[in-house]
Amino acid sequence: MKAHFQVLDGLRGTAALSVIVFHIFELITPDWAHNPLPHGYLAVDFFYALSGFVLGYAYDNRLAKDAPAKLKLSFWGFVKRRLIRLHPMVPVAVTAGLIGYMNDPNVGTSQTIGVGLTFGALILAYGLNLFLLPSPTLPNHWDETHSLDAPSWTLFWEYIANVFFVLWLHRLKRSLHVALLIVAGLALVATATGFKNSLGWGWGFETLWVAPVRLVYPFLAGLLVYRLDWKIKVPQPYLAASALVLAVLAFPALGKYNGLYEALAIIFVFPLTLAVGASIDEVKGPTGPLCRFTGELSYPLYITHYPFIFLFGHWVWATHPGQPLLYAVSAGMFVFVILFATIALYQYDKPVRAWLTRRFVGS
Report pTM. Answer: 0.96
Question: In the structure, what pLDDT confidence band is assigned to residue 34 with cuts at 50, 70 and 90?
Answer: confident
Task: Note the pLDDT tens digit of each residue in 126-178.
Answer: 999 999 999 999 999 999 999 999 999 999 999 999 999 999 999 999 999 99
3 state SS of 67: coil
Task: Note the pLDDT tens digit of each residue in 101-135.
Answer: 999 999 999 999 999 899 999 999 999 999 999 99
Contact 281, 8 (CB under 8 A): no
Q: Which amino acid is at 341?
A: A
- For 64, 173, 266, 323, 326, the CA distances from 212, given in Å and listed in that order, are 26, 21, 14, 39, 36
Task: Note the pLDDT tens digit of each residue in 289-327.
Answer: 999 999 999 999 999 999 999 999 999 999 999 999 999
Q: What is the pLDDT of residue 363?
A: 57
Task: Note the pLDDT tens digit of each residue in 240-298.
Answer: 999 999 999 999 999 999 999 999 999 999 999 999 999 988 888 888 999 999 999 99
Q: Inter-axis angle of helices 210-227 and 43-63, to 10 degrees? A: 50
**DSSP calls for 148-217:** T-TTHHHHHHHHHHHHHHHHTGGG--HHHHHHHHHHHHHHHHHHHHHSTT-----SBSTTTTHHHHHHHH
Which residues lie closer than 8 Å to 40 by C-beta, 6 or more apart?
Answer: 18, 19, 21, 22, 23, 26, 249
pLDDT(92) > 90: yes
Partners of 117 in beta bridges: 113
Q: Which amino acid is at 282?
A: E
